[in-house]
Amino acid sequence: MKSTMTNRKSLLILLLLLVFWISVTVFRNSTKNWPALRWPDSLLRWTFIRKTLHPEAPPCSVVSEIETDLKIRKIVEKVDQMIPPRPFTHVHTTTSAAQSTATILNPRDTYCQGDQLDVLLEAKNHLGRRKEYGGDFLRARMSSAGLKAGASGRVTDFNNGTYLVSFTLFWEGQVSLSVLLMHPSEGASALWRARNQGYDRVIFTGHFTHGNSQVNTECALFLNSSAELCRYQDAEDHEAFYCERPPHVSCAALTHMHSRNKDISYLSQQERSLFERSNVGVEIMKNSKVIHVTKCNTKTVPVKEKCKPGRTSTIPSGHVWKDTWNPVSCILTPVQMKDCLRGKFIYLMGDSTIRQWIEYFKASINTLKSVDLHEYGKLQRQFAVDLDRNINIQWQKHAYPLIGSMVYSVKEIEYLARAIDRTGGDKNTIIVISLGQHFRPFPLDVFIRRALNVHKAVQRLLLRSPDTVVIIKTENTREMNSDVERFSDFHGYIQYLVMQDIFQDLNVGIIDAWDITIAYGSNDVHPPQYVIGNQINIFLNYIC
């Protein structure tokens, strides 16, 4: 009997050793398959803080966090491959718009409407020498000012100093071509490196109310401080924001916040010279001839279907004609706003570029009345109703990071994933989400994590309520002369690509505000009303 028991124990030990050996072998082999990556310090620091602050997280939560971390790393790896380090010895060796050449391939005196026009761009440095690598951040646009028409161009980087810029000639008339050198490849590489080095380009000040007095302390996504910290954490996704705790004051006493840009840079003095206003958005096709386009094609144009959510985006996604947006892959039909919104509950979630929508609705529907929620400031939550038509429209800001020099309330702040989770949803519920502008000054993993958490919340919503309409409005272009290291459109473009990548597997509507604002030639963080109106026209076609 004892011998049998001993044999069983020995066999059990051998099995356990075998399992352990197999596990170690698999782990070693799997780690060999991971490429060597240049991870942002922010990602490593987040992992360290998470382990420190949440040592006893539930097993399912730990698995979810590990999966999210792996997804973040995969996306960061993609971006790393897009933006390899570029040598920068002197400004003269960087790309020069004046020295670079643009040649129209197969030029003609007259082109036909609907044709594709290709331009071969050869990048040269300030010494007139051909660049041997790509990575320049370019913006291509065609336009006819008199016709109030415009469209973006598609740029193909051959990674050897040459680029193919393709334009679809959507309309007849005289057309001007433009290719702007937004940043040379050396500048793009510097911006990518600098972005992921720190969280302190923007400093937040928290306002704590203590009796009849107010105490202000420093707050941030991450605080390197020896002071006692207040941690404001999302229970589900573990995103957090921190403030130094004032002495003898409760963390719950935080009521308001404002921010300011800190006088700090992770760029060298030589690199900063690349981002002076005269070096940003410089025209390469300055001396190009006007293109003459006529309606000479006799091909039958296929009938397009009405625009609806779930369609694949194209480049360009459409064009402007007489100030009106015309998508490439579908058709926008006239929609009466009041009738379309009847019985609808519309949640607008995100930054101030989606807040513009509720302001547009209120200006367009005179029976839509604001409800006083007893808040103040530009970032206050907004709610508007039309009782006769049962129209309900609400805008709420996203959670930290939320940049604003004016003081705003934080008592009602919540992460968008939680707002989506508490939404029941039905065929008359529409959610529009816009993220981006406030994340530009921070390492990219912060934005990726937020986008992934919103994606998971939308996924849960569509599982329990597949009739709910969810629309993603991408971020738009902004001023070229604003603080480039913090707010360059280069950062916005990377985030634009990230959003497309993350949400491509969901049946959601996409309003490509990035492409739309390029087509309109808008360089304002808050586009003009006529641009907002055309975005909303797409929205109305999606839901009615």
Cis upstream peptide for 401 (omega within 30°): yes
pLDDT-based confidence at residue 209 (cuts at 50, 70, 90): very high
Between the alpha carbon of residue 389 and those of residues 312, 337, 343, 365, the distances in Å are 33, 11, 6, 11
pLDDT of amino acid 482: 82
pLDDT digits (tens, 9 = 90+) for 421-472: 999 999 999 999 999 999 999 999 999 999 999 999 999 999 999 999 999 9
Q: Which CATH superfamily is domain 92-183+280-294 in?
A: Immunoglobulins (2.60.40.10)
CATH annotation of 318-543: 3.40.50.1110
Q: Which residues, at least 6 apart from 286, have a Cβ–Cβ distance to it below 8 Å? A: 97
Distance (Å, rounded) from C-alpha 255 to C-alpha 209?
7
Q: Which residues, at least 6 apart from 435, have a Cβ–Cβ distance to it below 8 Å? A: 350, 351, 398, 416, 447, 450, 451, 454, 475, 495, 499
Are 83 and 188 in contact by the 8 Å Cβ rule? The answer is: yes
Phi, psi of 262 (to 5 degrees): -90, 145
- Reading the block at residue 332, the tokens are 């926008």
pLDDT digits (tens, 9 = 90+) for 515-540: 999 999 999 999 999 999 999 999 99
Query: What does the domain layout of the chain look like in residue ranges?
Result: 92-183+280-294, 202-261, 318-543
**What element of type H or E holds 282?**
strand 282-283
Task: Measure the CA dihedral 494/497/498/503, to 10°.
Answer: 160
pLDDT digits (tens, 9 = 90+) for 130-163: 999 999 999 999 999 999 999 999 999 999 999 9
pLDDT digits (tens, 9 = 90+) for 176-198: 999 999 999 999 999 999 999 99
Distance (Å, rounded) from C-alpha 69 to C-alpha 195?
19
pTM score of the predicted model: 0.87
Are 262 and 200 in contact by the 8 Å Cβ rule? The answer is: yes
Q: Between 299 and 119, where is the model more confident?
A: 119
- One-letter amino acid identity for 291? I
361-373 in b/e burial notation, b at 16+ Cβ within 10 A?
A: beeebeebeeeee
pLDDT-based confidence at residue 326 (cuts at 50, 70, 90): very high
- Reading the block at residue 420, the tokens are 């989506």
Q: Is the pLDDT of residue 25 over 50?
A: no
DSSP state of 326: E
Neighbours of 413 (CB within 10 A): 19
**What element of type H or E holds 431?**
strand 429-434
The share of the chain scoring above pLDDT 90, in percent, equals 79
User: Pick from 317, 346, 343: which is nearest to 332 by CA?
Assistant: 317
User: Pick from 502, 449, 474: which is nearest to 234 by CA?
Assistant: 449
pLDDT of amino acid 13: 52
